[in-house]
Chains A and B, each alone.
Chain A
Amino acid sequence: MIDRLMAEAPAFFTRDTAAFLGLALSRTLLMTVIGCGAGFVLGMVLAVVRRSRAGWLAPARVLAAAYVELFRRIPFLVILILVLFSVQAFAPDLSLLGIAAIAVTLAATAYLSEIVRAGLESVPRAQVEGADVLGLSAAQSFWLVILPQSWRVILPPAAAFMVMFIKDTALASHLGVVELAFSGKILVNRGFSPLYGFGAVLILYFLLSWPLGRMAAWLETRLAVSRHR
């Protein structure tokens, strides 16, 4: 065992392996950041639509609610495959990474919209009325009064969701995206010991999640101190 690892070491600890793993790491990170970033923006749009009261938005409210309820109940792997087949029908040239990023966005939108919605609802109705009677428009009261007070409720679970989702992007390997988990498998197929291949993957996942997790925890304590910061 030790002998094998010693023998493989010169071939494994090379610039090539590092570049290969680095590329895979960047794909994992890219899927997560693009998917969760776009998902956050779209999720916020859905949350705002669901809070609206205007009559002409009633169909949009129903659609938004249906989307959120549906996509939170489909396994991520199924979303990936659905996106793969539907996207390939329209845009056969889109990269697998792009398809995976779309799938992450679809799932993240549904989850993050619920997190944003809970945050917006944590702001007392009286704050909205206070803005209302001063003549502020709905948009002004949203951006200046409601959203700034929602961050402390939104950010900690949103960051935790993103950290958790880093791991779920491993499922994109089923599509053939060479992300972190897949790269471990490839290294093993190249003849390296699984201890090297997946050991490296394990360490890289940790290095990716740990600082983000710490940041989420830091945000949580910082925002919990006071309502206004």
Chain B
Amino acid sequence: MPFLDIVDLSAGYGGAPILNGVNLSVGKGEVISLIGPSGSGKSTLLRVLIGLTAPSSGQVSIDGTPVDYASKASVRALRRRMSIVFQQFNLFQNMTALANICLAPVKTLGVAPAAAEARGRELLASVGLADKADSYPDQLSGGQQQRVAIARALAMQPEILLLDEITSALDPERVGEVLDTVRALAATGISMLLVSHEMSFVREISTRVVMMDAGRVVESGPPAQIFTAPQEARTKAFIGAIIRH
């Protein structure tokens, strides 16, 4: 049984459909990259999965348990197993890096503050920012903020991590440090569903690549297949356009 199972999921803003029946399953430890043109619904899919945008129809289940996005309790239970990292980091500006990481474990998981802090420092060290524990977000570079955001998501000990274009808002020379962090993370065996425009990175890190267009999954397969021998015309056109650059 897949760990995360998405069946016929649809969603839209104010009547305009963004997702048109997405079917996708993610196994334990899989790293799946969503690719496709802008507006194809990649980021919306992640937002629906984490409960920020309401689905209009369809079914999502995690580890065999269906998620009821209309129920706060069900969404809260989901968020103990699934975390997301945003393009714009969304770090709390009024707290230090360490406080950002410790807040949710203490307030929502009931972890003792001392234990949360010890774990927070470990996580900061693991993303290479051991010396930035007491820095505020506006004292950190974009790449550093994004690594703190990853550490914050990991502090919730999620079983699956969603990464929404996490390098798109960074200066080019900062992209590498964040990708290194994600690469190390993939090796730990956590399930990941990511949206990225860094195609060489997608190709390297993914166990499976999913091509989306117009709110649907067009094609999915191992990176080698999608990038070198795509089956669908839409995928061929998209990959062709990328490779020409």
Q: A136-B107, A228-B136 are in contact. Are A130 and B93 (CB under 8 A)?
A: no
Known A129-B86, A132-B52, A134-B79; judge A228-B93 contact (CB<8 A): yes
Choice from A127, A129, A135 contacting B108 with Cβ under 8 Å: A135
Give the dominant DSSP class at A's interface.
helix
- How distant is B70 from chain A, measured CB to nearest CB, in Å? 12
Residues in B whose Cβ lies below 8 Å from that of A126 = 86, 88, 90
Given A129-B86, A130-B86, A130-B92, do A135 and B138 touch, yes or no (CB 8 Å)? no
How many residues on chain A are close to B (CB under 8 Å)? Answer: 18
The answer on a CB contact under 8 Å between B103 and A144 is: yes
Q: Are B93's CB and A149's CB within 8 A?
A: yes
| A33 contacts chain B at the CB level, 8 A cutoff | no
Point out the residues of chain A lying under 8 angstroms from B95, CB to CB: 228
Tell me if A227 counts as interface (CB < 8 A to partner B): yes
Tell me if B86 and A145 are in contact (CB < 8 A).
no
B138 touches A228 (CB 8 A): yes
Check A129 against B90 for contact (C-beta < 8 Å).
yes
Q: Could you say which of A127, A136, A149 contacts B104, with CB atoms under 8 Å apart?
A: A136
Q: Does A134 contact B152, Cβ atoms closer than 8 Å?
A: yes
Measured in the bound complex, the distance between the Cα atoms of B95 and A171 in whole Å is 44
For the complex of A and B, 5 pairs with smallest distance between CB atoms: A130-B90, A134-B104, A135-B108, A148-B94, A228-B136
For the A-B complex with A135-B79, A136-B107, A228-B93 known, give 17 more contacts whose Cβ atoms are closer than 8 Å.
A126-B90, A127-B92, A129-B90, A132-B52, A133-B52, A133-B79, A134-B83, A136-B104, A136-B108, A140-B107, A144-B103, A145-B92, A226-B136, A227-B94, A227-B136, A228-B94, A228-B138
Pairs A–B under 8 Å by Cβ, sample size 17: A126-B86, A131-B92, A132-B51, A132-B52, A133-B50, A133-B51, A134-B79, A134-B83, A134-B103, A134-B104, A135-B80, A136-B103, A140-B108, A145-B92, A149-B92, A149-B93, A227-B136
